[in-house]
């Protein structure tokens, strides 16, 4: 699928001159290039993504040069404190970010699947409004955080399913639509008679289940979950999460899961990216991040939650509070709060460096840069797999 180029692209070239390589004295640093060929199993490939709030001198960079990617049927977790840019990133990828949000660069290629003509890839950043509308909900759907305000309070639940199906599945008859809605409700463990209720007649957990069922109405390839369980109690949260995973096993959609609850993510996600003040600080598989975090911020986040399994540990948390994005500290964004901060951290911004052969990246001068700097033991653990319970076994009880 070709995407028509927008007017702004004619003025500003798509490829801007790259900056010089960072001065790291350790190891051979190589610039990595991504192949532009086929996406294959990859369903979403976001590169060099930057988002601003505001214009001109008042602009604040909320997402700074971020890369994320996601394979088919996998779960990507995005973790970080409030205001770290998690939701901004995801809403900007889907182009749903409201004014004054502006995408300042990058690409977000979405793989619609392949047929005889080859792969159908759409760059969401360059897509026209019509293309976006065809992709939304049918290929990418979203479960919003607040189910109460996302469901129309004066429309019965059944009609809300009806509207989705009427818009996107024009061939379906009224009975078929009703049957589809009932089947969807059954999938999330609700009775068919809920279709005739108004949203305010349902509990918070039921409403959130309806949001999930709505998101799955059109069999999307990617479902974005924006803190779907944050407003719910722990028991309901667990039930919904386990249902989600049964559904994923059944239908094979990929998920992006936004939450600040890192311990939840370590059980759910295949891969986790940790964001801090708008930038990626670490990317790793869920198990590696949980057992062997490399970035001090990831470690701090992990220490802020009681572990679900294993021994009791003292909760420590992270001192201080996230920086004001309009006045970021020099050097590493995290250095004012980092217990391991060195002199270099105050002056130079660490690049997000991929550690070859390990399938993980980290942006920290402790790990790359100077071989004279020794890594503290808590940031150099090796993942053994001993402490993590198999997520599939755990969530399905």
Partner 1 sequence: MKSLRFPRSPKVIVGMVILGFFIFLMIFGPYLAPYSPDNTNFAPLLTPSAHHWFGTTSLGQDIFSQTLVGARATMVVAGVAGLAATMLSILIGISAGYIGGFTDDGLSLMSNVFLALPGLPLLIVIDSYLPVNSRSNSLIIGLIISLTGWAWGARVLRAQTMSLRNRDFVESARIIGEKRMRIMFSEIAPNLLPILASSLLFTILYSIGAYVTLAYIGLTSTSVWNWGTMLFWAQSNNAPLSGEWYWFIPPGMCIALVGTSLALLNFGIDEFINPRLRAGGLSGRQRRRLGMPRRQRLGFTPVVRSVTTAPRVSVQTQNPVTP
Task: Compare residues 18 and 385 and give the one whose CB is closer to partner 1.
Answer: 18
Q: Which residues pair with 385 in a beta bridge?
A: none
Q: Cα–Cα distance between 22 and 26 in angstroms, integer?
A: 11
The answer to whether the beta carbons of residues 269 and 76 sit under 8 Å apart is: yes
Closest CB 217 distance from partner 1, rounded Å: 19
Helix (H/G/I), strand (E/B), else coil: 7: helix
Task: Compare residues 104 and 238 and give the one whose CB is closer to partner 1.
Answer: 104
Closest CB 61 distance from partner 1, rounded Å: 8
Closest CB 11 distance from partner 1, rounded Å: 8
Q: How many CB atoms lie within 10 A of CB 380?
A: 13
Q: Cα–Cα distance between 268 and 280 in angstroms, integer?
A: 20
Task: Compare residues 380 and 384 and give the one whose CB is closer to partner 1.
Answer: 380
Question: For residue 9, which phi and psi values (nearest 5 degrees)?
Answer: -65, -30
Q: Cα–Cα distance between 349 and 372 in angstroms, integer?
A: 18
Q: Cα–Cα distance between 77 and 235 in angstroms, integer?
A: 21
Regarding beta strands 254-258 and 75-79, do their DSSP bridges make them parallel or antiparallel, or are they unpaired? parallel
Q: Which residues pair with 141 in a beta bridge?
A: 223
DSSP string, 306-357: --SSSS-------SS-PPPGGGPPSSSTTGGG-TT--HHHHHSPPP-EEETT
Task: Compare residues 33 and 173 and give the one whose CB is closer to partner 1.
Answer: 33
Closest CB 298 distance from partner 1, rounded Å: 15
Closest CB 200 distance from partner 1, rounded Å: 13
Q: Cα–Cα distance between 117 and 305 in angstroms, integer?
A: 49
Task: Compare residues 98 and 327 and give the one whose CB is closer to partner 1.
Answer: 98
Closest CB 113 distance from partner 1, rounded Å: 24
Task: Compare residues 88 and 145 and give the one whose CB is closer to partner 1.
Answer: 88
- The site for partner 1 (CB under 8 A) is made up of 6, 8-9, 12, 14, 16-19, 21-22, 24, 26-34, 48, 50, 55-56, 65, 67, 91-92, 95-106, 125-126, 129, 132, 351-357, 361, 366-371, 373-377, 380
Q: Which residues pair with 116 in a beta bridge?
A: none
Closest CB 144 distance from partner 1, rounded Å: 14
């Amino acid at each position: 699928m070709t995407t028509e180029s927008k007017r702004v692209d004619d003025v500003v070239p798509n490829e801007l001159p790259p900056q010089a390589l960072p001065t790291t004295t350790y190891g051979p640093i190589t610039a990595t290039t991504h192949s532009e060929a086929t996406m294959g199993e990859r369903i979403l490939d976001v590169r060099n993504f930057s988002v601003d709030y505001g214009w001109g001198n008042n602009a604040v960079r909320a997402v700074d040069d971020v890369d994320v990617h996601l394979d088919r049927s996998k779960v990507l977790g995005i973790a970080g404190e409030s205001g770290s840019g998690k939701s901004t990133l995801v809403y900007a990828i889907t182009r749903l970010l409201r004014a004054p949000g502006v995408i300042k660069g990058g690409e977000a290629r979405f793989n619609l699947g392949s047929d005889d003509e080859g792969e159908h890839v759409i760059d969401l950043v360059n897509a026209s409004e019509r293309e976006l509308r065809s992709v939304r909900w049918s290929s990418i759907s979203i479960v919003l955080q607040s189910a109460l305000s996302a469901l129309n309070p004066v429309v019965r639940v059944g009609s809300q399913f009806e509207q989705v199906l009427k818009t996107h599945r024009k061939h379906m008859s009224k009975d078929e639509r009703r049957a589809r809605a009932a089947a969807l409700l059954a999938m999330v463990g609700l009775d068919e008679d809920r279709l005739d209720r108004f949203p305010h007649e349902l509990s918070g957990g039921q409403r959130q289940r309806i949001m999930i069922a709505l998101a799955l109405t059109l069999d999307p390839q990617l479902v974005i979950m924006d803190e779907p369980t944050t407003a719910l109690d722990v028991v309901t949260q667990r039930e919904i999460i386990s249902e989600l995973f049964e559904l994923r096993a059944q239908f094979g959609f990929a998920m992006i899961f936004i939450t600040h609850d890192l311990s939840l993510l370590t059980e759910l996600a295949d891969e986790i990216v940790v964001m801090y003040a708008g930038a990626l600080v670490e990317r790793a598989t869920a198990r590696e991040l949980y057992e062997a975090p490399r970035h001090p911020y990831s470690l701090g986040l992990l220490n802020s939650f009681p572990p679900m399994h294993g021994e009791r540990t003292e909760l420590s948390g992270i001192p201080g509070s996230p920086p004001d994005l309009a006045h970021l500290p020099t050097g590493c964004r995290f250095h004012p709060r980092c217990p391991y901060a060195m002199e270099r951290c105050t002056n130079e911004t660490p690049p997000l460096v991929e550690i070859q052969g390990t399938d993980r990246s980290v942006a920290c001068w402790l790990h790359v840069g100077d071989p004279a700097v020794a890594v503290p033991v808590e940031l150099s653990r090796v993942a053994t797999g001993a402490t993590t319970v198999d997520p599939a076994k755990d969530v399905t009880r």
